[in-house]
Amino acid sequence: MSTSEDESDLLLNSLFTEPARPPSPAPTIVVYNRDLHHQEPCKNAPLNDPESNNWDHVDIRLVGTHSLWGHYLWNAARSFARYLDANPQLYRDQSVLELGAGGGLPGLVAAKNGARKVVLTDYPDRELIENLEYNVKKNIPVTAADRLSVIGYIWGRPSQPLIDSLPASPIAPTANGFDLILLSDLVFNHSQHDALLTTCENTLMTHAPSESEQRPAPTVLVFYTHHRPHLAHRDLEFFAKARERMWLCEEIVQDKFPPMFPDDPGEEEVRSTVHGWRLTRITHSP
């Protein structure tokens, strides 16, 4: 039986029409320009690339929008990149883990300056992870692709997949952790402080280098801004919890930038300042 003209008006595509959704914002590209004053000659070219130590910028693609704030290049990431570029001795030929990497700028700078292995992680959302993978391909030579990994990871969850991504080294034939962990603008997430610390405790290398090894102690670097000045005390609870969990916490950097959101409430001086902290595990002599 054929469908009449009147019946055709009652088809499902007529009954359940939806207004057209606005298209998702397109990804954006933000350029981080290197401070060439910090450029350090390197005897062994990082990433097997003779031009790698002459890099002058990093192109960071950001997702168009995201509920986890991955669509911004935060001031803390810029400050972090500058600090890492000025201090390559902290991680050269060592392993680096970045948690909540977003666009991955700090970890990419560590890779371009000769880290042995860099693992970039963020929440296991396809859009975030694929964007991180894009930034690796955009900024890192193909010949060095195995020196970086991108992994979806939820803070506080079992961390063995992160450890398993590490290659063995002459110092540690069986890898048991990372030499350096990067946390860029994560402490504003107050409910996740314990989860972040748990992951750091489970993934930081447990082998403490001897004086003869001439290597820095395994370290966590935490860079952040008090985006909500009235909640600055809640941000700082991260370090109070860390001290309770036997971490030595020391502020090492204060940087000034234009505030991310000029019209936000709260003292502009506070919202313009990036703080950088160094955390190391407290060890007891036998």
The response to whether 74 counts as a known ligand-binding position is yes
C-alpha torsion sign, points 147, 150, 155, 157: negative
The residue among 197, 167, 164 whose CA lies nearest residue 183 is: 197
Burial 67-80 (b: 16+ CB within 10 A, else e): eeebbbbbbbbbbb
55 is an annotated ligand-binding site residue: no
Q: Are 95 and 166 in contact (CB under 8 A)?
A: yes
Token digits of residue 170: 């002459």
Q: Is 70 annotated as a binding residue?
A: no
* C-beta separation of 247 from 241 below 8 A: no
Q: Kindly list the strands in the beta sheet with 247-256, ordered across the sheet, starting from the edge strand earlier in the chain.
A: 148-152, 117-122, 95-99, 180-184, 219-225, 273-281, 247-256
Closest alpha carbon to 274 in 70, 37, 127, 79: 79
247 is in an annotated binding site: no
- 26 known member of a binding site: no
- For residue 101, say whether it is annotated as part of any ligand binding site: yes
Angle 253-260-83 from CA coordinates, rounded to 5°: 25
Q: Which of 59, 60, 55 is nearest to 34 (CA)?
A: 55
User: Is 155 annotated for ligand binding?
Assistant: yes
- Annotated binding residues, written as ranges, equal 74, 100-102, 122, 155, 184
Binding site feature residues for S-adenosyl-L-methionine: 74, 100-102, 122, 155, 184
